[in-house]
Chain A
Amino acid sequence: MAELNYDQVRTHVLNIIADIALDDDVTSIKDDLLLREQLDLDSMDFLDIVMELKKRHKIEVPQEDYPQLATMQSCVTYLTPKFNQ
């Protein structure tokens, strides 16, 4: 199977965020800025992102790695190897 590239992983992450931040516009997310500042997400919502990654993609994110999910860019960088495992 071909490996997922940046944009493909980004789409997976974006789909999850769109389902969590129901009332937010996710199309304008800037990849290098903090997600929680653009989208009104707090620590409770990051729990949901982690849960959805596990549910949809069988990807585990241990709690010490939560800071890796701070921006879209860091999310994709951190998750790409996990998607491609």
Chain B
Amino acid sequence: MTSQKVDYIVIGAGMAGLASAIRLLMFGKKVLIVEKHSIPGGLNSYYKRGKREFDVGLHALTNTVKPGEKGKPFHKILKQLRIPLENFELSPQSYSLIKFPDKTLKFTNDFNEFIESIHQQFPNDIDQFLSLVEHIKNFNEVALDNETFMAKDVVRSFIKNESLIEMIFCPLLIYGSAWENDMDFSQFVVMFKSIYFEGFARPNGGVRTIINLLTAKIESLGGEVRYKTAVTKIIEQNGAVCGVLLNNETLVECSNVLSTVGNFETKKLLNPELFVAEENIGKLSFTESIFITKEKPHTLGSDATIIFYNNRPNYLYRCPQTFIDNQSAVVCFPNNFKNDQMDEGWLRVTSMANFNLWKNLNSADKKSYLQKKEEVASENIELLKNLLPEFSGDYLFKDVFSPTTITRYTGHLGGAVYGSPDKIRSGKFPETKGLYLAGTDQGFLGIVGAMLSGISITNLYFLQNGSNE
């Protein structure tokens, strides 16, 4: 066994880990960044099939900033990472829809259009909605010491109409909640502001553009990400972290470790024998089908960028009893961001999925697993035909990923894209000095949230007041 020594270790080269590493390197620290996968990005990554480049995770970047605005979360990140806004090459959405059986709400990157849409569809509830908005505006959702309390209780104290509540929650839940049918109020506010106040945009080039900016910054600061390098154990002595063991049998001595791999995933690295109870593992996982078509979505009948589709009176955000829930989905048409540089049509359908069913099928019988993916693709095609009147169902190419794909590439227990419902907002593991958590399970959400999490936790524990070096 070989050994070495560094000041800081960052586990995971996703958005949180990369942002954290940039901060440490800017402050002249010696940092080792390890990533289990062969490429960066974590839950927001990419791959290539044939000649085509696919994004995983990112439908859209939330927290879109408009020219002249200041002080938004995205600005904070840009300044902290010293990356100019224009380098993200953001292309704003056209509009998005929340499509329920009886009503459809529309929102854009101008919040007034959402108010107008609610006014039209729910004229009796608009004043209640506006008072909720005031409450949200005045709430500090990123304070690291916020208590956890559930958002629907708070929202019901303002809005009485359950149908409106269901519609408002739909995009916020499926774009970020680790809880079934509800979410922590701070996270609700993070999501509400980032999606409804600020809105969606897509970097030209997709998620690669963001990842490349972050990795280029790391290189320019003299840092390096070690890929295909997994931490197999976090070593602790007398209640303090003292190093990690890597899968290549290297022991790295270090008294400051930032993990971005999840709450229980990190605890398992401390104690690989640890049993994680079912209720602590996030239950929300997804399949995604991506279809490449000759025609672009606007020719097939829709100009919308993202459609939050639900075919029931209530929105059931939960682990389905079946392989996927075919009565609801998020549909994204990346061509329908304002600046479409793609040659072909891209249709993405994300469905809630049951991790255990997929896992059991995958380990029992590979052929049935592949066949099940075909069935999901067919169901998603039928759903797309409802939303795209001119779509015949023909496509040039398709790819489907399942909850087991997510676990395989990201290491998240249960294929839980939004992590465990047990968030650690403080980012501290009180039992283990020197070990901290950032990313999904620290509780800020989305790409912008993940980067902000990596930055905030790093500033707070490693860069302010000196650190416990």
A-to-B contact residues, CB < 8 Å: 19-23, 40-42, 44-45, 47-48, 51, 55, 63
Contact yes or no, B79 A45, CB < 8 A: yes
List chain B residues, Cβ under 8 A from A21: 79
Question: Contact check: which of A22, A55, A63 meets B79 at CB < 8 Å?
Answer: A22
Question: Contact check: which of B71, B83, B464, B465 meets A40 at CB < 8 Å?
Answer: B71
Contact yes or no, B28 A55, CB < 8 A: yes
Contact yes or no, A40 B80, CB < 8 A: no
27 A/B residue pairs, CB under 8 Å, sorted by A = A20-B79, A22-B78, A22-B83, A22-B84, A23-B79, A23-B84, A23-B85, A40-B70, A40-B71, A40-B75, A41-B79, A42-B71, A44-B76, A44-B80, A44-B455, A44-B456, A44-B459, A45-B79, A45-B80, A47-B463, A47-B464, A48-B26, A48-B80, A51-B26, A51-B27, A55-B28, A63-B465
B-to-A contact residues, CB < 8 Å: 26-28, 70-71, 75-76, 78-80, 82-85, 455-456, 459, 463-465
List chain B residues, Cβ under 8 A from A47: 459, 463-464
Question: Contact check: which of A19, A23, A63 meets B75 at CB < 8 Å?
Answer: A23
Please report the C-alpha to C-alpha distance between residue A21 and residue B76 in the assembled complex, in whole angstroms.
10
Beyond A40-B70, A63-B464: 18 further Cβ-contacts under 8 Å? A20-B79, A20-B82, A22-B78, A22-B79, A22-B83, A22-B84, A23-B78, A23-B79, A23-B84, A23-B85, A42-B71, A44-B459, A45-B79, A45-B80, A47-B464, A48-B80, A51-B26, A51-B463
Q: Smallest CB–CB gap between A53 and chain B, Å?
A: 12
Contact yes or no, B82 A19, CB < 8 A: yes
Please report the C-alpha to C-alpha distance between residue A40 and residue B26 in the assembled complex, in whole angstroms.
21
Closest to B72 in A: A40
Please report the C-alpha to C-alpha distance between residue A42 and residue B84 in the assembled complex, in whole angstroms.
18
Please report the C-alpha to C-alpha distance between residue A27 and residue B26 in the assembled complex, in whole angstroms.
25
Contact yes or no, A22 B82, CB < 8 A: yes
Q: Smallest CB–CB gap between A9 and chain B, Å?
A: 23
Please provide the 8 A-B residue pairs with the shortest distance between their CB atoms, ordered closest to farther: A40-B70, A40-B71, A22-B84, A51-B27, A44-B459, A45-B79, A47-B463, A23-B85
Please report the C-alpha to C-alpha distance between residue A51 and residue B25 in the assembled complex, in whole angstroms.
12
List chain A residues, Cβ under 8 A from B455: 44
List chain A residues, Cβ under 8 A from B79: 20-23, 41, 45
List chain B residues, Cβ under 8 A from A19: 82
Q: Smallest CB–CB gap between B48 and chain A, Å?
A: 32
Q: Smallest CB–CB gap between A29 and chain B, Å?
A: 15
Closest to A42 in B: B76
List chain B residues, Cβ under 8 A from A63: 464-465
Q: Smallest CB–CB gap between B122 and chain A, Å?
A: 36
Please report the C-alpha to C-alpha distance between residue A47 and residue B465 in the assembled complex, in whole angstroms.
10
List chain B residues, Cβ under 8 A from A55: 28
Q: Which of B83, B456, B464 has most A Cβ within 10 Å? A: B464
List chain B residues, Cβ under 8 A from A23: 75, 78-79, 84-85
Closest to B82 in A: A22
List chain A residues, Cβ under 8 A from B463: 47, 51
Closest to B465 in A: A63
List chain A residues, Cβ under 8 A from B76: 42, 44
List chain A residues, Cβ under 8 A from B83: 22
Closest to A41 in B: B79
Q: Which of B70, B83, B455, B465 has most A Cβ within 10 Å? A: B70
List chain B residues, Cβ under 8 A from A51: 26-27, 463
Q: Smallest CB–CB gap between A48 and chain B, Å?
A: 7
List chain A residues, Cβ under 8 A from B459: 44, 47
List chain A residues, Cβ under 8 A from B71: 40, 42
Closest to B452 in A: A44
Closest to A21 in B: B79
Q: Smallest CB–CB gap between A51 and chain B, Å?
A: 5
Q: Smallest CB–CB gap between B459 and chain A, Å?
A: 5
Please report the C-alpha to C-alpha distance between residue A60 and residue B82 in the assembled complex, in whole angstroms.
22
Please report the C-alpha to C-alpha distance between residue A41 and residue B83 in the assembled complex, in whole angstroms.
15
List chain B residues, Cβ under 8 A from A20: 79, 82
Closest to A22 in B: B84
Please report the C-alpha to C-alpha distance between residue A19 and residue B83 in the assembled complex, in whole angstroms.
10
